[in-house]
């Protein structure tokens, strides 16, 4: 079974080809230097596919890490994966970056709390039991401390480890596309694929455009009118 895996959410992106009939399964991989995914992703996919002699329609699935992370990186990776999926008629699977980080804690950890930097003093947070998501959320430091208690906290960014030093986090390597393979195999076994037409990015927060957007005059009048009616 041949798979294409894409991750452009973090400080570095990666593209991986995996064949489950081989050991090891990874056939080819290419790292995309930070902030270059928009220019390098599609050429990188083309290179690894050509180097392996694979065709798009031969893939059993395309797996994409769809956030949370860099808004631009998330959009680039997800858009490319959706485009390739539709062009080749290949099933699509999206995996959370927090799930990959939590899985890095190892099988000996019953519950892993994965934390990523979200900026503005907030954190992307995911609670996982094995590969099962309990919840994901955008939390403040105070909320995060309350959620974690004394369980295992895993991070992959030094600034997050420093900010949460009181929680004694484990600083691990940043997840890459290849780390999504176990999740993909589980989903394929259940025929659990995503719909490329409706799949959205896993931002866990609003974009700046949404946060700072001003309502149109017409919208503002509607809101004011509703407020008056409610008051009456």
pLDDT of residue 193: 98
Total-model pTM: 0.87
Model pLDDT for residues 150-205, shown as the tens digit of each residue: 899 999 999 999 999 999 999 999 999 999 999 999 999 999 999 999 999 999 97
Mean pLDDT value of segment 8-19: 95
Q: Are residues 115 and 181 in the same domain?
A: no
Q: Show the domain range for 164.
A: 103-171
The last residue of a domain, from among 150, 171, 192: 171
Q: Are residues 70 and 167 in the same domain?
A: no
Examine residue 224 and state whether it is found in any structural domain, yes or no: no
Number of domains in the chain: 2
What 3-state DSSP class applies to 13?
strand
Q: What CATH number corresponds to the domain at position 185?
A: 3.30.420.40
Mean pLDDT value of segment 205-214: 55
Examine residue 220 and state whether it is found in any structural domain, yes or no: no
- CA angle 128/82/155 to nearest 5° reads 30
Q: Are residues 165 and 184 in the same domain?
A: no
d(CA 88, CA 156): 34
Model pLDDT for residues 78-109, shown as the tens digit of each residue: 999 999 999 999 999 999 999 999 999 998 89
Q: Are residues 70 and 132 in the same domain?
A: no
How many Å is the Cα radius of gyration of the chain?
20
């Amino acid at each position: 079974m041949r798979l294409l895996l894409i991750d452009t959410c973090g400080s570095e992106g990666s593209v991986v080809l995996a064949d489950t009939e081989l050991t090891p399964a990874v056939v080819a991989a290419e790292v995309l230097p930070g902030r270059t995914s928009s220019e390098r992703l599609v050429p990188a996919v083309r290179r690894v596919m050509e180097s392996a002699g694979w065709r798009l329609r031969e893939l059993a699935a395309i797996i994409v890490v769809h956030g949370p992370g860099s808004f631009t990186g998330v959009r680039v990776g997800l858009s490319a994966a959706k485009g390739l999926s539709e062009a080749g008629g290949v099933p699509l699977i999206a995996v959370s970056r927090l799930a990959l980080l939590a899985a890095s804690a190892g099988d000996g950890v019953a519950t892993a709390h994965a934390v990523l930097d979200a900026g503005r003093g907030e954190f992307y947070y995911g609670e996982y039991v094995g590969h099962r998501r309990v919840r994901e959320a955008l939390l403040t430091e105070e909320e995060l401390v309350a959620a974690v208690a004394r369980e295992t906290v895993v991070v992959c960014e030094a600034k997050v480890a420093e900010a949460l030093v009181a929680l004694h986090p484990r600083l691990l390597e940043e997840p890459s596309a290849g780390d999504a393979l176990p999740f993909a195999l589980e989903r394929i076994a259940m025929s659990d694929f995503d719909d490329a037409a409706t799949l959205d990015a896993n931002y866990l927060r609003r974009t700046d455009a949404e946060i700072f957007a001003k309502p149109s005059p017409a919208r503002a009048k509607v809101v004011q009118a509703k407020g008056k009616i409610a008051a009456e």
